Amino acid sequence: MDDRATQAYHLLEETLHARNVDVAAVRTALKQQEIETPSWGYADSGTRFGVFPQSGAAVTIAEKLADAAQVHKFTGIAPLVATHVLWDLPDDAAVESVPALAASLGVRIGSINPNVFQDREYWMGSFGNRNPAARRKAVDHCLRSVEIGKQLKSGVLTLWFADGTDYPGQSDFRERKRWFQDCLHEVYAAMPDGMTMLVEYKPFEPGLYHTDIADWGMSYVFCRNLGDRARVLVDLGHHLPGTNIEHIVAFLLDEQLLGGFHFNNRKYADDDVMVGSINPYEFFLIYNELVKEELNPRGNPKVEYMVDQGFNTKKKIPGMIQTVLMIQRTYAKALCVDRVRLAEAMGNHDVVAAEQCLLDAFNVDVEPLLRRVRAEMDVPEDPLAAFLSSCYQTGIERDRGIRTGAGGLGQ
Amino acid sequence: MDDRATQAYHLLEETLHARNVDVAAVRTALKQQEIETPSWGYADSGTRFGVFPQSGAAVTIAEKLADAAQVHKFTGIAPLVATHVLWDLPDDAAVESVPALAASLGVRIGSINPNVFQDREYWMGSFGNRNPAARRKAVDHCLRSVEIGKQLKSGVLTLWFADGTDYPGQSDFRERKRWFQDCLHEVYAAMPDGMTMLVEYKPFEPGLYHTDIADWGMSYVFCRNLGDRARVLVDLGHHLPGTNIEHIVAFLLDEQLLGGFHFNNRKYADDDVMVGSINPYEFFLIYNELVKEELNPRGNPKVEYMVDQGFNTKKKIPGMIQTVLMIQRTYAKALCVDRVRLAEAMGNHDVVAAEQCLLDAFNVDVEPLLRRVRAEMDVPEDPLAAFLSSCYQTGIERDRGIRTGAGGLGQ
Amino acid sequence: MDDRATQAYHLLEETLHARNVDVAAVRTALKQQEIETPSWGYADSGTRFGVFPQSGAAVTIAEKLADAAQVHKFTGIAPLVATHVLWDLPDDAAVESVPALAASLGVRIGSINPNVFQDREYWMGSFGNRNPAARRKAVDHCLRSVEIGKQLKSGVLTLWFADGTDYPGQSDFRERKRWFQDCLHEVYAAMPDGMTMLVEYKPFEPGLYHTDIADWGMSYVFCRNLGDRARVLVDLGHHLPGTNIEHIVAFLLDEQLLGGFHFNNRKYADDDVMVGSINPYEFFLIYNELVKEELNPRGNPKVEYMVDQGFNTKKKIPGMIQTVLMIQRTYAKALCVDRVRLAEAMGNHDVVAAEQCLLDAFNVDVEPLLRRVRAEMDVPEDPLAAFLSSCYQTGIERDRGIRTGAGGLGQ
Amino acid sequence: MDDRATQAYHLLEETLHARNVDVAAVRTALKQQEIETPSWGYADSGTRFGVFPQSGAAVTIAEKLADAAQVHKFTGIAPLVATHVLWDLPDDAAVESVPALAASLGVRIGSINPNVFQDREYWMGSFGNRNPAARRKAVDHCLRSVEIGKQLKSGVLTLWFADGTDYPGQSDFRERKRWFQDCLHEVYAAMPDGMTMLVEYKPFEPGLYHTDIADWGMSYVFCRNLGDRARVLVDLGHHLPGTNIEHIVAFLLDEQLLGGFHFNNRKYADDDVMVGSINPYEFFLIYNELVKEELNPRGNPKVEYMVDQGFNTKKKIPGMIQTVLMIQRTYAKALCVDRVRLAEAMGNHDVVAAEQCLLDAFNVDVEPLLRRVRAEMDVPEDPLAAFLSSCYQTGIERDRGIRTGAGGLGQ
């Protein structure tokens, strides 16, 4: 850190001390942060109107891991990579090759993501399909995913279902609920002790009239029935307009049932744009609830922080680094809330002062603090600039060019 | 019924038989339908921009019951009246007078509705208020409501909470959740065996940032923790845009946790306009789930059908009769679905045919059937016209004139 | 028509006469109805999560026209087919072949739809692209579309733009607006006298942060600046939740600027499900405004009625017939409103009676009337059943099988 | 400014210089900022569920002006006060007293706001009322408002209409549009040369089915037809979920038709909570468009910046100071965008870099700059703290106590 950065850091430190923030603890927390990026985030993606393949986009699992490793190399806090069974691990050879590959790149395998929506058998659903053969195939794929998880020493099985219907009358809600329950039970029963099942919810798409696990409440009910290693996965884009997500997060934490996140943001539908890019304050308020649980734990198990975004018009690795920095910044701000003054303001029903505590933390420029933390972690103080001045991006654009075949939503 | 009506009925009967509908059973079901109208629906209401008091609007509980009795007299299916403790039953004398009054008018007391949002102590909440004195007051009012329920032989305690906050930081979600839990438990414990607690949810308003019981999932969790006489109340207007309500209804039915409804409709926010007036097909799809439970019961206890609407620009009694007829018509249509053909279409994944089964039932004109049922129940075949040609409405407009003081949202 | 149908028709006729409906005029209006179905509606479609190609789906323009001709053959009111330049008319030979082909099948070419979103040059936009070469290419494609329109004697050029951005800062709203204006002017200037330009709007997708023509107001401003042969195209799915579409339709009619419709419906986003399948009453209210203009014209030119839907889980031809019947039924109901009584109720500020006039028309079962009209038009009284008992669908499934290559969103 | 503040300012100045920001120009712009606060923001407000009157809330126009003067005294940038004809200026005496009163308090009268929604005659509308007498009364009130505006030397007439309907069929959209047009023309014709008419839009409430001026497009059409002194007023809370407001702002600026703002924020409906309290980044993006017009003017006339919020649970004067500071901060951030780098990034289609320019400006802590500006303007560096340590608030709570009668939505 140069003189100006040091001076800025000390000024910030003084400000934070005056706000009752334990800056040393904040730095420790920031150094322990771990974010999981998705293998498919390095491959092409698009909308139903088309996919524009990007030069240098990853196709193979080796490329995806290499790209993810770049994100970790420059940020220091993204050591985990989510893998997608169908797209990344089509056969035993792929599975076997992954651990050494990941280790050599300095990253670890995070959650295992089965895919039960792409094959033709799933046209009318997977766990909610009236046809027992389709349900069988879907369960078998998930059971295989559990096995892969064991092999890759992954502790997290992430389940998202595209099941739903397009029209009233197309199917029966209750029958489907029971099929779902049965299938989930079979998969849950096969999980080893250390494995957690995360159950994702989503209000619509690809089903245009209903989806079988439409909101956190449905996810909650399925998890409660399964057992204590099943927990709710909150994808930030999977909510109807107006939803108070931080309230749901607090509620699930209190129920000890918050399993993890898919970070992204939405303006209209499930847009999968960068987390915090539409409403960074909402993202801060969500982190504020997570920090409250950290400071005052009531027993919710470890939360998984996963990115799930598409990069349709952004370059993928720079976009992912920008994302990781957005998450880091937001966590830092949430750690900088003056909780003494906030408690006092709440106690006095002083709404102006209480809100201002949050706004003050949100408005603080935490960059000097983050630069200090990065220096201590031995990563570049400005990770995005550092990545861009490395020759990695130009190298992959030159060497890989424009291709297809990565699976994913841009196949 | 005149010749034309009879002819129309017979034509309809033939059509329905061809659709595998047991018309006799439909008529029986329609004759057993019971709808509860709210005492406050006969009093003035408005928006935050003002209330325009109507000539003839009810002020006293006697007037409200008398007006409700008119709705029952002309429709035959609205024998229950919801009472609001604060507005209708301010003292013991009022409570004591009600049973005889109701009996003399041919109606019965339905649900008991405490009010824990209007007194100044509730400015910052009731069950979720940081101040224990406010929580105490709110619990005591609910305990008194339980006692009133016993006295009035009402089996249903309906709880809606205005609790919420306007700004981030104003309060703590988790603390409030626990205060809610404790208060609910105390009230639940005081309920006699035959009494059911219905817990309503609402995503916003009057709180503008959060409400403590924001969606069906939160209501569900509270009910599950309370015991098997607590169930979820679905107010049709209390959902975010895009919510698939019929899916929630089916899910709750399968969980045996659907307690009842507040019927109304929304276009934008919690508009409290006439049920079915914005989307009558959605209302039909909700009834379709209820009929499926009736035809193939899986154990959900009796569901309460309550109206909760405002009549800001409509005359109240005609508006309520129109509402009751809308409900009756919708129930009738849901009873007329060809369930044989629907099951077949579903089984074949024939989405066009399956949807068409529902559309055909929705498009059928059930008026001839309803006229027959009304004739058999000895009420007018056209209840709205019959009411309007009675002199009741002109009588109350002349005798009561424009007044205030009814409590309600038009106080 | 058999005896029962005749009897039902006469009963309905009596009812409608009592409601001041000129039934003969209604029948005439229904026989003049003309709906345009889209060539791409007979080809595969899907979501960003995948496309499940259907057996028998059309690939070539010849197949698409043949399938559309089936819809017209069985309904009598779908003689027009929208063509998509890129997918249907890739070269001069294709264009030259179309008129004779269409004529031989008994259909006509409707609107011409350029495509300026699929080629790689349009990744960052077409008319709103900062790169002049991309704008040039897009304008040239539209100019060619005008030429094709002349050749095919089509009077309608339909413009939809996928232009937009994913993130704040990505581009400049005002610069783009001016580029759009310039490009639109060039295309408009090239149109022959009898040609109308329809300008479509859409709030989002594929752009996830903004779209350049986001709402009817923006479309209106562009059209006003262009001249009197540019008019607004209302796609029913392109609105934010809560939009009162019938109000927009009435407003545009009064401004004489309503050009036409893309019929479909939405529950959440731009779902492209069957028109009327989510809220048939809203569709009726839209038609009610159109009928008011027909009965009491104030100068809006001819309106184009085009279907734009996807059939992801429905078979395409049955789905399209079902759609056309839904439109026919809704138009018929709007024609059956008792406008005498409605005007009286409005005049009295009698909201109950006024609303009931619309509800009564919506609730009437117009099927007997439609059967009569169909009989008079020499098409089957039950078009869907008649089509299904023809061997066309099984024939194409057998002969065409599952293929790809149709262009469209399922390419 | 103490040493630390000076040091922080200099660090910030260096950062901004490196970002191509002309800091001196930014300071000048900030010193010229003028915000208008509403007289009714100092009086009680509430929701349809009740109003909780606050101790010290203003009732008379003298109190409202005195409270507004406090906000200006401590911030230096809120010299204007919007007045409400009905609530503030009931008679000629009130009007005559205001100029001297305002001058003595150091504030000026801003916009004049007629009220055509509260009297019983407006139950079924004002300019859109079928009854000519109601329209006449409404126009006359607006004409009187024009006269008051002349007397008070106000240059702005702000028109908001509560007109709308609750149910389909209740009224006719087109007739109402024409009544609106005629009434607006009469008022416009009466305005003196220097007066501007601002026409507000709103999608719903108090009308629950439709409002007559529902969106910016309708407001635009009315203004275009009136003449060049009628312009669109954008109330930030009057949009449907998902609306891209900054896009509308940019579009209106380019059309030279943006008249002004009502600042507030929404999470669900028209919540009237503090501007920037739900999504401060969206507010920044709106200001970003305004700054672009300032830096590169294309002819839009002066924009009015008005606050329109309710303070249901916040104390009013502290809440208003907090609001003014939020606006100041947001304007400052928008002035700090690196426009050189942004233009470059846009030119390269580098979406990551372009977005990052906006994020960097948003994330900068402008407090040191604002403290410097305040010091130069001779107002307290921390206006909220300074106000709270004055005895004004405790004084009014003691002297005024809890009262009613201010008019407003909390009457």
**Per-residue pLDDT tens digits of chain B, which is 411 residues long:** 788 989 999 999 999 999 999 999 999 999 999 999 999 999 998 899 888 999 999 999 999 999 999 999 999 999 999 999 989 998 999 999 999 999 999 999 999 999 999 999 999 999 999 999 999 999 999 999 999 999 999 999 999 999 999 999 999 999 999 999 999 999 999 999 999 999 999 999 999 999 999 999 999 999 999 999 999 999 999 999 999 999 999 999 999 999 999 999 999 999 999 999 999 999 999 999 999 999 999 999 999 999 999 999 999 999 999 999 999 999 999 999 999 999 999 999 999 999 999 999 999 999 999 999 999 999 999 999 999 999 999 999 999 999 988 777 754
Nearest to C392 by CA among C71, C12, C47: C71
- Predicted ipTM? 0.97
Contact residues, chain D, for A7 at CB < 8 Å: 7, 11
Structure tokens given for A87: 């797209």
Structure tokens given for B168: 């981030």
CATH superfamily of A35-336: Divalent-metal-dependent TIM barrel enzymes (3.20.20.150)
CATH number belonging to domain B33-337: 3.20.20.150
Structure tokens given for B114: 């405490």
Supply the pLDDT for residue C405: 81
Nearest to B172 by CA among A179, C71, A358: A358
Judged against a pLDDT cut of 60, whether residue C183 lies above it is answered with: yes
Cβ within 8 Å of residue C205, ≥6 positions away: A47, A49, A268, A269, C211, C269, C270
Integer angstrom CA distances of residue A59 from A82, A400, A407, B271: 15, 9, 8, 51
Residues 95-134 of C with CB under 8 A from D: 124, 130
**Half-sphere exposure (CA, 13 Å, Cβ side) for D408?**
30
Cβ within 8 Å of residue C112, ≥6 positions away: C82, C83, C85, C145, C146, C148, C149, C152, C154, C156, C157, C158
Kindly provide the b/e burial profile for residues B170-203, where b requires at least 16 CB atoms within 10 angstroms of the residue's own CB.
bbbbbebbebbbebbbbbbebbeeebbbbbbbbb
Whether the bond between A206 and the residue before it is cis, its omega within 30 degrees of 0, is yes
Nearest to B362 by CA among C326, D279, C96, C116: C326
Count of CB atoms situated within 10 Å of the CB of A259? 25
Would you say D318 and D324 are in contact if contact means Cβ atoms under 8 Å apart?
A: no
pLDDT in tens, A356-407: 999 999 999 999 999 999 999 999 999 999 999 999 999 999 999 999 887 7
Would you say D200 and D159 are in contact if contact means Cβ atoms under 8 Å apart?
A: yes
Tell me the nearest-neighbour CA distance from A350 into chain B, angstroms: 8
Integer angstrom CA distances of residue A137 from A122, A131, A183, C337: 9, 10, 11, 53
Would you say B242 and C267 are in contact if contact means Cβ atoms under 8 Å apart?
A: yes
Judged against a pLDDT cut of 90, whether residue C243 lies above it is answered with: yes
Question: How many H-runs (helices) and E-runs (strands) does chain B carry?
Answer: 16, 12
Would you say C122 and A46 are in contact if contact means Cβ atoms under 8 Å apart?
A: no
CB-based contact B170 A298, cutoff 8 Å:
no
Integer angstrom CA distances of residue B100 from B85, B86, B195, D93, D350: 17, 20, 21, 57, 78
Residue identified by tokens 């909470």 is B161
Supply the pLDDT for residue C188: 98
CB-based contact A356 D278, cutoff 8 Å:
no
When CB atoms are compared, the residue of D46, D48, D208 closest to B267 is: D208
Chains contacting A (3+ CB pairs below 8 angstroms): B, C, D
Tell me if the pTM is above 0.95. yes
Would you say A209 and A168 are in contact if contact means Cβ atoms under 8 Å apart?
A: yes
Residue identified by tokens 């948003």 is D362
Supply the pLDDT for residue D410: 59
**Number of inter-chain CB pairs under 8 A, B vs C:** 81
When CB atoms are compared, the residue of D52, D269, D271 closest to B268 is: D269
Q: Are strands C230-235 and C304-307 parallel, antiparallel or unpaired?
A: unpaired
Taking the C-alpha atoms of residue A210 and residue A205, their distance in angstroms, rounded to an integer, is 8
Structure tokens given for C183: 């490009």
Q: Does B358 touch chain A (CB under 8 A)?
A: yes
Tell me A391's DSSP state. S
Would you say A393 and A56 are in contact if contact means Cβ atoms under 8 Å apart?
A: yes
Contact residues, chain B, for C55 at CB < 8 Å: none
Find the residue in C nearest to A50 (Cα): C118
Cβ within 8 Å of residue B344, ≥6 positions away: B353
Contact residues, chain B, for C281 at CB < 8 Å: 278-281
Q: Does B49 touch chain C (CB under 8 A)?
A: no
Q: Does D158 touch chain A (CB under 8 A)?
A: no
Supply the pLDDT for residue A348: 96
Low-confidence stretches of chain A (pLDDT < 70) are 410-411
Taking the C-alpha atoms of residue A45 and residue A25, their distance in angstroms, rounded to an integer, is 39
Structure tokens given for A294: 């950290």
Rounded-to-5 percentages of helix, strand, coil across chain A: 50, 10, 35
Backbone φ and ψ of D44, nearest 5° = -65, 150
Residue C228's Cβ-count burial label (10 Å; 0-12, 13-18, 19+) is exposed
When CB atoms are compared, the residue of B130, B177, B241 closest to A241 is: B241
Cβ within 8 Å of residue C361, ≥6 positions away: C19, C284, C333, C334, C336, C337, C338
Residues 202-221 of D with CB under 8 A from C: 203-204, 209-210, 214-218, 220-221
CB-based contact D49 B165, cutoff 8 Å:
no
Q: Which amino acid is at A36?
A: E
When CB atoms are compared, the residue of C319, C352, C359 closest to B318 is: C352
Would you say B266 and C279 are in contact if contact means Cβ atoms under 8 Å apart?
A: no
Strands (E), A285-364: 304-307
pLDDT in tens, D298-320: 999 999 999 999 999 999 999 99
Would you say C46 and C405 are in contact if contact means Cβ atoms under 8 Å apart?
A: no
Taking the C-alpha atoms of residue B242 and residue C270, their distance in angstroms, rounded to an integer, is 12
Would you say C195 and C156 are in contact if contact means Cβ atoms under 8 Å apart?
A: yes
Residues 255-284 of C with CB under 8 A from B: 267-268, 274, 277-282
Would you say A159 and A197 are in contact if contact means Cβ atoms under 8 Å apart?
A: yes
CB-based contact C130 D169, cutoff 8 Å:
no
Low-confidence stretches of chain D (pLDDT < 70) are 410-411
Would you say D81 and D109 are in contact if contact means Cβ atoms under 8 Å apart?
A: yes
Kindly provide the b/e burial profile for residues B47-83, where b requires at least 16 CB atoms within 10 angstroms of the residue's own CB.
bbebbbbbebbbbebbbbbbbbbbbbbbbbbbbbbbb
Tell me the nearest-neighbour CA distance from D328 into chain B, angstroms: 20
Whether the bond between C206 and the residue before it is cis, its omega within 30 degrees of 0, is yes
Tell me the nearest-neighbour CA distance from A122 into chain C, angstroms: 9
The C-alpha torsion from D164 through D170 and D173 to D176, rounded to 10°, is -70
Q: How many Å separate Cα A234 from the centre of its chain?
A: 9
Supply the pLDDT for residue C410: 58
Cβ within 8 Å of residue C285, ≥6 positions away: C246, C358, D168
CB-based contact A251 B349, cutoff 8 Å:
no
When CB atoms are compared, the residue of A268, A271, A274 closest to C203 is: A268
Interior angle at CA B25, CA B22 and CA B29, nearest 5? 135
Taking the C-alpha atoms of residue B67 and residue C131, their distance in angstroms, rounded to an integer, is 70
Chains contacting B (3+ CB pairs below 8 angstroms): A, C, D
Q: Which CATH number fits domain D34-338: 3.30.70.1230, 3.20.20.150, 1.10.10.10, 3.40.630.30?
A: 3.20.20.150
Backbone φ and ψ of A183, nearest 5° = -65, -45
CB-based contact B242 C244, cutoff 8 Å:
no
Nearest to B116 by CA among B204, B47, B55, B187: B187
Interior angle at CA A198, CA A197 and CA A200, nearest 5? 145
Q: How many Å separate Cα A49 from the centre of its chain?
A: 25
Would you say C202 and C270 are in contact if contact means Cβ atoms under 8 Å apart?
A: yes
Taking the C-alpha atoms of residue A59 and residue A53, their distance in angstroms, rounded to an integer, is 11
Structure tokens given for C237: 């799915």
Residue C286's Cβ-count burial label (10 Å; 0-12, 13-18, 19+) is buried
Supply the pLDDT for residue A366: 98
Contact residues, chain C, for D247 at CB < 8 Å: 173, 210, 214
Q: Are strands D46-47 and D50-51 parallel, antiparallel or unpaired?
A: antiparallel
Residue B375's Cβ-count burial label (10 Å; 0-12, 13-18, 19+) is middle
Supply the pLDDT for residue B410: 59
What is the DSSP secondary-structure string of A250-281?
HHHHHTT-EEEEEE-B-SSSS--B-TTSS-HH
Would you say B362 and B333 are in contact if contact means Cβ atoms under 8 Å apart?
A: yes
Class of CATH domain C3-113+236-410: alpha beta
Interior angle at CA B176, CA B173 and CA B178, nearest 5? 115
Would you say D275 and D323 are in contact if contact means Cβ atoms under 8 Å apart?
A: yes
